Structure 1
Amino acid sequence: MRIRLVFAWVILALSAMPQSAQADGRADSMALFRKAYGRFKAGDVPAARVVLLNAIKADPHNAIAHVLQGRVYLALKDGVAAEAEFGRARDSGIAADDIRHLMANAYLLQDRPQDAIDEADPSHVPGRFAVWAARVRAMAQLSLDNDDAATAELNLALRLSPRNSAVWTDIGHFRIENGETAGAVDAADRAVALDPRNVEALLLKGQLVRTQYGLTAALPWFDRMLAIDPNNLDALLEKAATLGDIGRSRAMLATTRQVLAIRPGNPMAFYLQAVLAARARNWTLARSLLQRTDGKLDDLPATLLLAGAIEYQTGNYEQAIDKLARLVGMQPENMKARRLMGAAQWRQGDDASAIDTLRPIADRPDADTYTLTIVGRALERQGQRKDAALYLDRAAIPTRAEPSPLDVVADPRQLAALRAAAVANPGDTKTQIALIAALLRADQGAEALDVSQALLARNRGAPMAHVLVGDAYVATGNYAAAATAYRDAANISFTEPVALRLIDALRRAGNSAGAVEVLNLFLSQNPQDVPAQLLAADVMLSNGQWDKAINILESLRGRLGDRDAALLNNLAWAYFSAVRMDQALVYAGKAYDLAPANPAVGDTYGWILFQTGRDRQKGLALLRKAAGQSPRDAGVRWHLAQAYAATGAGAQAKAAAQAALALPGFQDRAKAEALIARY
C-alpha cells in the first residue's frame, strides 16, 4: 500500500549544534543551510537538496543540515536515503529522541511498519513531536491492517492538534482505505481549509474529486499543487494519468517528460508512457517503455495487466498467462484480467483452463460476446457440444445485456455457508458483500435487499453500500428506488459502474430524459469512457442524429479496432440512415463476417443489401435467416415483410407483417396494417 504522509518542518533547537559551529567551514555551511531551508519552505525540494549537498560538503558534521536533507528525502519518498541522513545527524550530535519521528517515517517509506512503530514509541518521543509520531504510528498500523490501533493513533493526533491540516489529510487516507468515501471527502475539505498550501491535502482532494465528479474536474486541483510546488512528482504523475484518461495524449506525454526531467528514470513516468503506447496499439514501444521501469512496478496490478496485454497482443501467450495468473490470484474479481487470461489460455490450446478462468464471467447475465464465444469453442473442442451450444447461442443474442449487479465472483451454491459466515461476522463488510452477490446471482432479491440495507445502515459514507441496495432493488423490479440508491452513490463516487447503473435504472423507470442527462454529465467529465460513448451512440441512433452517432462510433473503432461486431453493425446502420451506402455496406459486411450467427447483424446486412439493390437475393436470404434466428424480434420480422412485398411475394409479406404486429413493442403498426390490407 502506498502511504502518503504530510509533515510540517520544525527547526531543532540551535543548542543541539556542536560547539564547532563557529568555525569558518561551519559558518559557510550554516549560510548554505539557511538558503536551503528557504528553498525547502518555498516548495522547491530538488533545489534544497542540491544546496544542502554543498552545506554538508562545507561541514560534514553539520547535524541540522543532515536533518533537513533527511527531511528532503522524505519529501522525495526516498526512505533509504532519509534514514542514512538521520543516522549521520545522530552521529553529528543530534539527540536520538529528537528525530525518532523522522526516522520512523523513513522506515515507513521503506515498508517497515513495525520498525516505524517501535522507533516512534511515545515513551521516547518528546512532546513537541507527539503529533507527528502518532501520525506515523497510525499509518504504520494501517499498513499492518490494524484498523483499531490506527484509529486510536489518529484520534490521539486529533486531540493533540485538532486544527492540524496534516492530521486531517491522514484521516482522509484512512477513511479511503476503509471505504468511507464521504468521510474522506469531509476530511480532505477540512485539511484544505486549514492549510490551502498543504500540497498533500490538495493531492488527496484532487484524487477524491476525480472519483466524486470526474476526470476533468480533478485537473484544477493538481494544477493548484503545481502552482505551489512546480516540481511535485505526485501532482505531475496524477495530472499525467488524468490527462491520458481524458484523451489528451500530447499533454500527458509532455507531463511525463517533465517528470523525467526532474527525476530521470522515474518508473511511473515510463509506465504511463507505456500505457499511452498501448492505447495506440504500438505494442513494441509499449514493451520497451515498460522494461525501462526496471521491475520497480512489477508487483502492481496495473502493471501486471498492461504487461499481460502486451504479451497477449504480441503472441507470447505463455508469458501473458504467467503475468495474468498472478493478477487474478491477487484480484479474483478483476474481469479484465480474467478475460485476457482466458483468451490466452484458449489460444494456447488449454481449453480446460480457459473454461475455468472464464466461466465466472460467462455465467453472468451481462457476459460479453467474445467471452461466450471462447467458452463455447473451448467446450466444442472438448467434445461437450450440448454445453457449447448454450454459450454460442448466447453469444449470438442481438441485444446488449444490462449491467450485472456486481463485479464480484460469487457462487450461489455456497449460500448456506455465506449466510452462516454473515451471521457470525455482521461487521465484516467483505463477508456481507459476498453474501449479497451470491443472493443476487441466485435470484434472491428480497433477501439481498434486507442484507444490503443493513449494510448501508452501518456504512452510509461508502458508495458501494448504496450500490448494493440499488442492485437489490433492481433484482426486485423497483427501478425508481434503485435509481435513488444509485444517485446517492453517485453523489459520493461518480464512477463508471455507478453511472451506468444509474442510467440503466432511470431508463427502466421510464425517465429517459434523466438518463440522458446523467450520461451527458458523465461524458463531460470522462470523454473517453467506452461504455458511456456506446450508450451515447445508441441515444444518437434512436434520435436520428446519424452524423453524431457516426463520429462517436468511428472514434471508438479507431481505438478498439474492427473486432467488435455490435459496434460495426451500429456504424453500418448509421451510415445507411445517413444515405452513405458504400460505407454502410463495408461495415455491415465486416460485422457479418465476425458474427454470422447474430440475427441483428444478419438483419442489418440483409436489409442494406436489399435496399441498395447491390444483391437483393442475398439480402432476402439473410433476412429470412435473421427472422428464423430471432422470431420474437418485431423489427426483423417487419424488414422481412417489406422485402417480401417488394418482390411481389404477397402471402409471405402478409404473414411476416402479421407476426410483427403480434409482437410487443412494434412501432410501425399503421404501415404494417396497410401492407396486410393490400393482400
Structure 2
Amino acid sequence: MICRPDLLGILALLAFSLGGCGEDNAEPAGIERVRAQIAAGDVAAAQLTIDNLLEEGTPKAELAALAGEAALDRGDLDKAREWLGSEGFASGSAAHGYRMLSRLELQENDFQAGALALEKARRLSPEDASIWVDIGRLRYRVGDHVAALEAAAKAVQLEPDNLETLRFRGQLARDSDGMAPAAKWFAKARELAPQNEGLRLEHAAALLDSGDVPQAVSVLDEKSSDDAGSFYLRAVAAARSGAFFEARELLERSGDQRRATAAAQMLSAVLDLESGNLKSAAQTLDRLSENQPDNSQVHELLAYVLSLSGAHDELIYRYAFRAAGAQGSTWLRTLVGRAYEAIDQREQAAIYLDLAARPAGALALLRPAETAASSAAIARRNAIRSLISGGDTNGGVRLARNFAQEFGGSADAAALLGDALLADDQKSGALVAYEKAAMVRQSWPLILRMAATMDRGDAAKLIASFAAANPNNAEASALAADAYAAAGQWEEAARHLDRAIAGGMRRTPWVLASRSVASGKLGDPEAQLAWAIEAYELQRMNEAAIAALIDALPPSDLLRAELEAKQRALLAR
C-alpha cells in the first residue's frame, strides 16, 4: 500500500497529541448495559436495550454514540448516519461518538471526513487508547505503515490491557510477526471479552493459519454459531483435518455472500480436487486467476489440476513463460516439465526440470498490498519495476530511492527500494530497506529477499524464525529443515520436513530426498530407502534424488553403480 499524496494532509491532522477536555465516565445503568452488550458482540440485545431506554425517556444525545456503534456493527450504515451524522452527542460520550462517526466515514471511503472526525475525538480524549488504535488503522489504510505502528505503540503505552489495543496488535502481528504470535494477541484480547463473536472468529482464523487446527476447533466449539464466518472457518478446519465431505457441507452452509469471497472459492476448488471433480476445480481456479493474476497459489493449483486432467497443451500454453521467469516456483517448473514429457518434447522438459532442481534465488518483484494509491503513484511504481526487469538497475535505484523518500512511511516503497538495490548487488543497502518493510509486513517473498542479502548463518536463523511463526508455510518449513540439517540437528530437520510434506510439498523431489537423508541420520534405514525411492520415482534426473538413493542403497546393489554413472554425467554437464 502506497500513501497517496492527497492523503498527506489527512495524516498531518493525526500527527500530534493535543490537549482537551476529558469525558465524564459516570453512566446510568442502562447505558452501561448497552456498552457491555456491544462489547460482547450482541448487537441485537443492544438495540433492544436502546429502544427501551428511548421509550423510558433517555435523551437521544445520551444514546447517539452507542446507537451509532450498534448500527455500524450490524452493517446498517443508513441508521448509523441517522445517529451519528448530526454530531449531537452528550458531552460525556462525544469522543466516542466522533470515533464512531470516523468509522462510518471510512466505511464509505471518505478519508478526509473520517480523519476530521477522528481528530475531534482525539482532541476531546487524547489519552484514549481506542482512539489511537483508530488513528493507527487509518494511517495503515492510507499507506503510512510506520506511523501506524507508532500509533499502535502509543495505544499500548496508554492502555496495555485495552481490548481494541490488543486486537489491533494481533491484526498487525499477522503481517509483521506471523500467525502464531498473532494468535497469542487475540487470545489475550479474548480474556477481556470472551463473548465477542468477531474476536473469537479472528482468534480461530489465526490459529488455523498458524497450523494449530485442534486449538482452532476448540475455539470454534466454545459457542454454537450460525454466523457465515463460523461455518467457513469450520469448513477450513475440516478440510485441513482430511474431512472433505464435512468441509463441503459446512462451506455450503456459509451463505452465498461468504462463498463469493476468493478464499471460499479457493477452498471450494480444493474440495473439488479432493473429490475428483477436476472440471469444476479448473473452472473455479480459472475465474480466480483472472481476478487475482498475481496470486501464485491460484496459478500453481490450476496448473496442478490441468496436469491431473491431462490438459498438457493448455498447461504449457498458460504457464511455460511464467515458469521460466522469475515468478516460476519449483513446483510450477516441475509441472511444466512433466507436461512437456507427456507430449514427448524431452528437450523442453529437461530445461524446466533442470530449472526446478535449482535453488530459488532469482529476483521476482515483490507485490504491493491492495491500495487506493493514485494513478500517478502506480505509474511511478511500475516504471521502477520496468527498469529493474529491463536491467537498468542504476536507473531503478535512483527512482526507487526518490520514491521511498517521498513515501517514507510506506512498507511497499521500502520493499521496492530493496528490490532495486538487490538487483544492483547493493546487498547491505537492500537489507536496510527490507528490514524497514519487514517491520510492517513479513511476507515469505520478503523473507527470501532478506535471506539473499545475508550470510548463510544469518539467513538460516531468519528462515527458521519465520517458519516457527508461520508453521503453515510449507516452503519455509522445508528451507528451515535444510538449516537444521546443516547444523546437525536431525530431529528438528525431520520434523520440519514432515510439516513441509504435509503442507503440500510431497511432490517436490529435493524435499523427499532431504527426508531420506534425515531418516538415515536418525538410524531408520527402511524409511531412508522408502523416501529416496519416492523422490527418485518423482523425478529420475534430479540430482538430490539420485544422491539420496545412492546413499540409501547397500554398497552391493547393482543399481547403485548405474546411479553413480548417471550422477557423474549430470555433474559433468
Give the shorter-chain TM-score range: 0.7 to 0.9
User: 1:104-155 deviations in whole A, cap 9, x for unaligned?
Assistant: 4455445565774576334766666554444334333333433334333323
User: 1:554-613 deviations in whole A, cap 9, x for unaligned?
Assistant: 34334447422221111223334556433222211111111123233234324544xx23
Q: Within the alignment, does 1:583 sit opposite 2:531 as a pair?
A: no
- In structure 2, do the counterparts of structure 1 residues 471 and 281 end up closer, same or farther at CA, with 3 Å as the change threshold? farther
Structure 1 partner of 2:451: 503
Structure 2 partner of 1:621: 562
- Given the alignment, which residue of 280, 305, 317 partners 1:344? 305
Structure 2 partner of 1:396: 354
Structure 1 SS opposite 2:408 = coil
- In structure 2, do the counterparts of structure 1 residues 463 and 350 end up closer, same or farther at CA, with 3 Å as the change threshold? same
Distance 1:478 1:342 in 2: 35
Structure 2 partner of 1:156: 120
- Given the alignment, which residue of 295, 302, 312 partners 2:263? 302
User: 1:175-233 deviations in whole A, cap 9, x for unaligned?
Assistant: 22233332222222333443445312221122223433334434443333233222222
**Is the 8 Å Cα contact of residues 105 and 113 (structure 2) preserved in structure 1?**
yes
- In structure 2, do the counterparts of structure 1 residues 359 and 258 end up closer, same or farther at CA, with 3 Å as the change threshold? farther
- Following superposition of structure 1 onto structure 2, how do residues 191-590 of structure 1 map, counting pairs within 5 Å? 191-260=155-224, 264-348=225-309, 354-355=315-316, 357-358=318-319, 361-365=322-326, 367-376=328-337, 385=345, 389-390=347-348, 392-397=350-355, 398-402=357-361, 404-408=363-367, 425-426=375-376, 428=377, 430-507=378-455, 512-560=456-504, 562-577=506-521, 580-590=524-534
- In structure 2, do the counterparts of structure 1 residues 167 and 373 end up closer, same or farther at CA, with 3 Å as the change threshold? same
Alpha-carbon deviation of 1:630?
4.4
Distance 2:394 2:438 in 1: 23
Structure 2 partner of 1:57: none
Amino acid at match of 1:621: E
Amino acid at match of 2:564: L
Distance 1:306 1:452 in 2: 37
Over the aligned positions, Cα root-mean-square deviation in angstroms equals 3.7
Amino acid at match of 1:368: S
Amino acid at match of 2:396: A
Structure 1 SS opposite 2:500 = helix
User: 1:454-511 deviations in whole A, cap 9, x for unaligned?
Assistant: 222133333322222222222111222222222233333344333332223203xxxx
Distance 1:381 1:561 in 2: 22
Alpha-carbon deviation of 1:297?
1.9
Higher mean C-alpha deviation, range 582-591 or range 210-219: 210-219
**Is the 8 Å Cα contact of residues 185 and 205 (structure 1) preserved in structure 2?**
no
Alpha-carbon deviation of 1:274?
2.4
Which 5+ residue runs of structure 2 have no aligned equivalent? 1-21
Distance 2:189 2:247 in 1: 29
Amino acid at match of 1:539: A
Distance 1:520 1:230 in 2: 33
**Is the 8 Å Cα contact of residues 122 and 133 (structure 1) preserved in structure 2?**
no
Alpha-carbon deviation of 1:332?
2.2
- Given the alignment, which residue of 142, 145, 154 partners 1:181? 145
User: 1:299-333 deviations in whole A, cap 9, x for unaligned?
Assistant: 33322222221112222223323433443344321
Alpha-carbon deviation of 1:622?
2.6
**Is the 8 Å Cα contact of residues 81 and 104 (structure 2) preserved in structure 1?**
yes
User: 1:400-429 deviations in whole A, cap 9, x for unaligned?
Assistant: 2126433549xxxxxxxxxxxx9x954x2x
**Is the 8 Å Cα contact of residues 351 and 381 (structure 1) preserved in structure 2?**
yes
Distance 1:357 1:149 in 2: 45
Distance 1:563 1:554 in 2: 13
**Is the 8 Å Cα contact of residues 513 and 532 (structure 2) preserved in structure 1?**
yes
Amino acid at match of 1:184: A
Alpha-carbon deviation of 1:95?
6.0
Structure 1 SS opposite 2:152 = helix
Distance 1:330 1:225 in 2: 35
Amino acid at match of 1:401: A
Q: Give the structure, 1 or 2, with the largest relative contact order (CA under 8 Å, sep 6 or more).
A: 2
Normalising by structure 1, what TM-score? 0.70
- In structure 2, do the counterparts of structure 1 residues 471 and 600 end up closer, same or farther at CA, with 3 Å as the change threshold? same
- Given the alignment, which residue of 118, 122, 138 partners 2:102? 138
**Is the 8 Å Cα contact of residues 225 and 232 (structure 1) preserved in structure 2?**
no
Distance 1:575 1:194 in 2: 52
Amino acid at match of 2:555: G
Which 5+ residue runs of structure 1 have no aligned equivalent? 1-7, 15-33, 46-71, 410-421, 633-679
Amino acid at match of 2:150: D
Distance 1:143 1:403 in 2: 40
- In structure 2, do the counterparts of structure 1 residues 378 and 586 end up closer, same or farther at CA, with 3 Å as the change threshold? closer
- In structure 2, do the counterparts of structure 1 residues 151 and 349 end up closer, same or farther at CA, with 3 Å as the change threshold? farther
Structure 2 partner of 1:51: none
- Given the alignment, which residue of 70, 76, 83 partners 2:41? 76
**Is the 8 Å Cα contact of residues 286 and 302 (structure 2) preserved in structure 1?**
yes
**Is the 8 Å Cα contact of residues 163 and 189 (structure 2) preserved in structure 1?**
yes
- In structure 2, do the counterparts of structure 1 residues 305 and 9 end up closer, same or farther at CA, with 3 Å as the change threshold? farther
Give the greater-gyration-radius structure (CA): 1
Distance 2:49 2:347 in 1: 67
Structure 2 SS opposite 1:258 = coil
**Is the 8 Å Cα contact of residues 376 and 389 (structure 1) preserved in structure 2?**
no
Structure 2 partner of 1:656: none
**Is the 8 Å Cα contact of residues 41 and 198 (structure 2) preserved in structure 1?**
no
**Is the 8 Å Cα contact of residues 164 and 194 (structure 1) preserved in structure 2?**
yes
**Is the 8 Å Cα contact of residues 108 and 116 (structure 1) preserved in structure 2?**
yes
